[in-house]
């Protein structure tokens, strides 16, 4: 059975007078940010950010509750 993971990103975009797009993509959970300079690369930037996170060891390998669910672990 595969593990489903959710990721949230904030994408800040600026368009100049010539129509050029640039901005920053931020991974909400980690605060990692990466700049981009065209709309065509946005998907690739997100994919790289997810790949980097996949390569890092998880700090809490236990199951995580889905949004809206309360954890049964004591605080």
Predicted local distance difference test score (pLDDT) of residue 52? 84
For residue 22, tell me if it sits in a domain.
yes
For residue 62, tell me if it sits in a domain.
no
Predicted local distance difference test score (pLDDT) of residue 42? 97
Q: How many domains in the chain?
A: 1
For residue 14, tell me if it sits in a domain.
yes
Predicted local distance difference test score (pLDDT) of residue 75? 45
For residue 75, tell me if it sits in a domain.
no
User: Is the per-residue pLDDT at 71 higher than 60?
Assistant: no
Which domain, by its residues, includes 22?
Answer: 9-55
Mean model confidence pLDDT for the chain: 81
Which is nearest to 30 in space by CA: 55, 9, 6? Answer: 9
For residue 40, tell me if it sits in a domain.
yes
> How does pLDDT run across 30-65, given as a tens digit for each residue?
999 999 999 999 999 999 999 987 766 655 554 544
Which is nearest to 30 in space by CA: 13, 12, 54? Answer: 54
């Amino acid at each position: 059975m595969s593990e489903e993971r959710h990721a949230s990103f904030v994408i800040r975009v600026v368009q100049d007078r010539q129509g050029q797009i640039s901005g920053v993509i931020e991974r909400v959970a980690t605060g990692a940010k990466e700049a981009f300079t065209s709309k065509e690369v946005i998907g690739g930037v997100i994919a790289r950010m997810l790949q980097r996170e996949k390569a890092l060891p998880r700090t809490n390998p236990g199951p995580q509750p889905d949004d809206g669910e309360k954890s049964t672990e004591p605080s």
